[in-house]
Amino acid sequence: MFGRVALIGLGLIGSSLGHAMRRGSIAGEIVGAARTAETREAALRLGFIDRGCKTAAEAVAGADLVILCTPVGTYGALAAEIAPALAPGAIVTDVGSVKMSVIRDIGPHIPKGVHFVPGHPIAGTEQSGPEAGFAHLFDGRWTILTPTAVADPDALARLTAFWTACGAKVEVMDPERHDMVLAITSHLPHLIAYNIVGTAAHLETVTESEVIKFSAGGFRDFTRLAASDPTMWRDVFLNNREAVLEMLGRFTEDLISLQRAIRYRDGQALYDLFSYTRQVRREIIEAGQETPLADFGRHPGADTHVPNARGGAARKGKASE
């Protein structure tokens, strides 16, 4: 599908893309860029790249497809660095959870004759680093592509085929709409998780050992989200500030309504809300985006590769991205 693919960043997403390309024989050569020799050596040892480079500019030379897999806060500087080395006709894309800021930071650096199509695979775990990747991370999951008005249709079609070959389902979406959708489905849940875990850890009336020892399913699952990469999520919140603040305002209003229902013993309001949210959970399972197994398939001793409702795969420790 591509003669040479350059992965800039070899963490969870970059390494998983390397494994997925190996599985599907998608690339003739996979070149990876990482700042540390340790990361490059690990990627070569794990076999998901053919060659490791210290700089992004070196990695993209001669590449047909360039994928930025680093935190979105690094994209502007990376785009400026790789611009002179990009081959005519190459496709540049990314995996960032925010799209408007990505277009703002990368777009101005793309040379004439190079095609830029932003992207976002809705897949991930709370793990990071080259050892965290696995080939089936994208299987049955959505990847959203957010081309600009000047995007080349052939480049969009080739990138769609690439993600499909990696196991994903692909949807094309307006970048501004993407940022609003992800603000409520991913960014706000992570923000709430970070806050809840932080609040519990600092309660004067509860010791840290009690919080850890008696963690029930709800709190434990919040800690999965709160264990996600801090640099990546810092950059997400700073670069999707407006959408996150809008959703946070809506959430605050709904939280006040919930507080009022509890205070005034409005059982019907509570029951109606809980019934509705339970149905949302069922629809997510029916859509094949989660396993129907008890305890989300993450009970101790469970195999890390379990079937989901549509016969695809889910991985133990799966966290929304």
pLDDT tens per residue, range 231-270: 989 999 999 999 999 999 999 999 999 999 999 999 999 9
Q: Name, of 38-52, 202-216, 306-320, the range with top average pLDDT.
A: 38-52
pLDDT higher for 316 or 36? 36
Range with lowest mean pLDDT among 58-67, 284-293, 307-316: 307-316
pLDDT score recorded for residue 297: 47
Range with lowest mean pLDDT among 45-54, 137-146, 213-222: 213-222
pLDDT score recorded for residue 82: 98
> In the chain, what percentage of residues exceed pLDDT 70?
88
Domains in the chain: ranges and CATH: 2-173 (3.40.50.720), 177-315 (1.10.3660.10)
- Mean per-residue pLDDT, 12-40: 97
* Half-sphere exposure for 96 (CA within 13 Å, toward CB): 34
- CA dist 142 and 240 (Å) reads 20
Rg (CA), the chain: 21
Range with lowest mean pLDDT among 92-96, 109-113, 163-167, 287-291: 287-291
Q: How many helices (H) and strands (E) does the chain have?
A: 13, 11
pLDDT score recorded for residue 205: 66
- Mean per-residue pLDDT, 11-36: 97
Please state, rounded to an integer, the average pLDDT across all residues of the chain.
88
pLDDT score recorded for residue 298: 53
pLDDT score recorded for residue 46: 97
| DSSP secondary structure, 115-177, as one string | EE--EEE---BS--SGGG--GGGGTT-EEEE---TT--HHHHHHHHHHHHHTT-EEEE--HHH
pLDDT tens readout for residues 88-133: 999 999 999 999 999 999 999 999 999 999 999 999 887 889 999 9
Q: What are phi and psi of 111, to 5 degrees?
A: -70, 160
pLDDT score recorded for residue 295: 56
- CA dist 120 and 215 (Å) reads 32
pLDDT score recorded for residue 176: 96
The residue whose two tokens read 């700042």 is 35
pLDDT score recorded for residue 206: 65
Confidence of residue 290 (pLDDT cuts 50, 70, 90): confident
**pTM over cut 0.85:** no
Range with lowest mean pLDDT among 47-51, 85-89, 185-189: 185-189
Cβ–Cβ under 8 Å, residues 58 and 33: yes
Helices 175-182 and 241-263, axial angle in degrees (round to 10): 30
Residue 37: how many CB atoms within 10 A of its CB?
Answer: 10
DSSP state of 86: P
pLDDT score recorded for residue 311: 35
pLDDT score recorded for residue 208: 67
Cβ–Cβ under 8 Å, residues 99 and 293: no
